[in-house]
Amino acid sequence: MLQLNGLGTALITPFMSNGAVDYDGLRRLLDIQLNGGVDYIVVLGTTGESATMTEQERKEVRQFIVRYIAGRMPLVLGLGGNNTAALVAELQANKDELQRDFAAILSVCPFYNKPSQDGLYQHFTAIAENSPVPVILYNVPGRTGVNLLPETVMRIFGAQPEKIMGIKEASGNIEQIKHLIDLTKNQPAAGGRFLLVISGDDGIAADVMMAGGAGLISVAANAWPKEYGQIVRKQDIQLQNRFANMVHLLFKEGNPSGIKTVLSEMGVIYNVLRLPLVPNSKAVQDEIRACLHNC
């Protein structure tokens, strides 16, 4: 199992003005990641607007990224849902591609259904049993409506220690995250491997690292991979604080609206999202533009 420590970028998907995938923009974005020294890329996660892409589009985008990266860094595929049986079937159908091209999958808690902790346990153990590659759990209660508790995380890890690599923790609750990190220290898998606790919040990445976290899966790193690499690797609180206002603006009207505004201002992509997501309002775009010049 490849250990995915350090900085991972939750990659956006660029679109053209007509709504089609912008492969030139995607190439520019991938070059930024390669030149910025990120440790791995998360492909087609929620930041990548995968929910509004067709199955064929998702296939073409991930194949394009695999070809362009050409083994220069590990890739993680976003693959989650709120229908366990359908997700299991998708894992089985794409077994060969996953084993060949991806170091792990990132699988979000089932959304809208609001399962119990036991339901979450059974969902993720089914995913782990059927995934041909390691699994990173993804806890983001603000999007899913359910909080994957630390004790449940460790129960899942205990049931599938050879498959569960870690968790992207985006609850925003630093005390919950610290508690989970403490629990991991007492429950190693065979061979002494511990569950990776990865921050899912740009604004507290250094805090999580200082508490014993394994890294960050970042939205902001789409635009600032070098800076967020320093925040993660050097636990640079001062640099994190310099980005605090920008991070607030990135998520003020939802993700990935904010980071797409930034990348369009940088000339990397068009500022296009797919409904029901829309670009930032003019007021927030103006705030982001001012912060880019003055922060």
Would you report the helix, strand and coil content of the chain in percent, each value rounded to 5?
A: 50, 15, 35
Are 267 and 13 a contacting pair, CB within 8 Å?
A: no
Residue 61 has pLDDT above 90, yes or no: yes
User: All domains of the chain, ordered by start, with CATH?
Assistant: 6-234 (3.20.20.70)
Residue 82 has pLDDT above 80, yes or no: yes
Span 13-29, average pLDDT: 98
What is the pLDDT at residue 28? 98
Using alpha carbons, select from 54, 36, 48 the residue that is nearest to residue 12.
Answer: 48
pLDDT tens for 159-196 read: 999 999 999 999 999 999 999 999 999 998 877 899 99
- Give the span between the Cα atoms of 289 and 295, in whole angstroms: 10
Catalytic residue (one of 40, 121, 138, 228) = 138
Span 78-84, average pLDDT: 97
- Give the span between the Cα atoms of 161 and 128, in whole angstroms: 9
What is the pLDDT at residue 244? 98
What share of the chain has pLDDT > 90, as a percent? 96
- Is 138 marked active-site? yes
Rounded to 5°, the CA angle 56-111-100 comes to 40
- Is 270 marked active-site? no
Span 12-16, average pLDDT: 98
Catalytic residue (one of 40, 121, 163, 168) = 168
Write the DSSP assignment of 211-233 as a string of letters: TT--EEEESGGGT-HHHHHHHHH
What is the pLDDT at residue 191? 76
pLDDT tens for 210-268 read: 999 999 999 999 999 999 999 999 999 999 999 999 999 999 999 999 999 999 999 99
Residue 1 has pLDDT above 90, yes or no: no
Are 279 and 257 a contacting pair, CB within 8 Å?
A: yes
71: left (phi over 0), alpha (psi -120 to 50) or beta: left
